[in-house]
Amino acid sequence: MSADDLLAAADRALLLAKRTGKGRVAVANPDAEDELARLQEADASPAAVHALAAAIDARDSYAHGRSEQVVGLAASVAMLLGLTAETVERIGHAALLHDVGKLAIPGDILRKNGTLDVAEWDVMAEHPVIGEGILRRIPQLAQLAPLVRHEHEHWDGSGYPDGLAGAQIPIGSRIVLACDAYVAMITRRPYRGELSQGDAIAELRAQAGAQFDPHVVEALLDVLGVAR
């Protein structure tokens, strides 16, 4: 290598070390180049996530503000369960985009001030599958697609779209489901009032082992500062 090439390679290794945490040592070699390329490709993910999130907020006023609450709770629960930093970030992104499929739901259904009828519910129930399809078309976000598809699966197998149960459901989907349900319960809607925190917590406990992963509920209650 020339002196300039050697300095350029060292600079790339230094950049990788800085990007991946304090105290990291990186050697200038092809593996380091591959890792740096992956990190640079992933840099597009946050921008894509927030662009889609803005589209969801514009389409569904109910989602505005609520999504950030779900993200905060989901990330905290994931950390409490001991998941890796990378997985926590992925779950946070999935929490922000779990309703992305609603971009394709007709507005009269999405904004209906009342209970959906059977036909309308059948349309609405397609949104996790639609969301999966949207995310798979964006290379930087494709890893979120399974979490979004299975966010409405229930621990006891009674959910949709695939009727998965227990540990068959991705852990990120289980976390987002419980956190989203809690935020939904304490949020006022045009056709119903909000529940008190106590009533919402009682519902989480009642559905642990049925709709929700019991371990996720325990972690969520800890995040909320609720004594068991």
Separation of alpha carbons 174 and 39, rounded Å: 27
Active site annotation includes 102: yes
Separation of alpha carbons 62 and 42, rounded Å: 30
Query: What b/e readout covers 51-62, taking b as 16+ CB neighbours within 10 angstroms?
Result: ebbeebbebbeb
Please say whether the beta carbons of 172 and 78 come within 8 A: yes
C-alpha–C-alpha distance, residues 219 and 81, integer Å: 7
Interatomic CA distance for residues 59 and 104, integer angstroms: 10
Of 18, 22, 102, 112, catalytic: 102
Contact 97, 52 (CB under 8 A): yes
What is the C-alpha separation between 206 and 29, in angstroms, rounded?
A: 55
For residue 200, which phi and psi values (nearest 5 degrees)? -65, -40
Q: Which amino acid type is present at position 214?
A: P
Strand partners, 208: 212
Give CA–CA dist 165/170, Å, rounded.
10
The residues annotated as belonging to the active site are 102
